Amino acid sequence: MNVHMDPSTEKKLNEYMGARPGYIKLFYDTEDCGCNGVLTLQIIDQPLDTDVKVKVDAFELFVDRQQQSLFDHTMKIIADPNYPSFTVRSDSSLFSSNVRIRDLRQN
């Protein structure tokens, strides 16, 4: 799996990361949502043993091994310039146009 980001997306993600260490994870959150899941970008302290590193130019991005099959081989993450959200898409599918970041770091 490959994920592409433009420079404005990289900049926005860097702003969320700040100076604290962490990793970005693309995750379908199904906990307490009452639906099939909500796609989120999580900032985590460490990847889990079940997480797989995804090829990205600027970041170490991870996805859960079981969720990796839900995505296409080549994905794009695009920052919304006017709103604190992202679009996750591939050439053939729109996965979500309102993806939020959840900072789950404990440090």
Q: Which domain holds residue 32?
A: 2-103
Average pLDDT over residues 27-40: 78
Average pLDDT over residues 45-68: 91
User: Whole-angstrom Cα distance, residue 40 to residue 102?
Assistant: 7
Structure tokens at 44: 């985590």
User: Whole-angstrom Cα distance, residue 49 to residue 34?
Assistant: 27
Our count of domains for the chain comes to 1
pTM for this prediction: 0.88
Res. 88: pLDDT tops 70: yes
CATH number at residue 66: 2.60.300.12
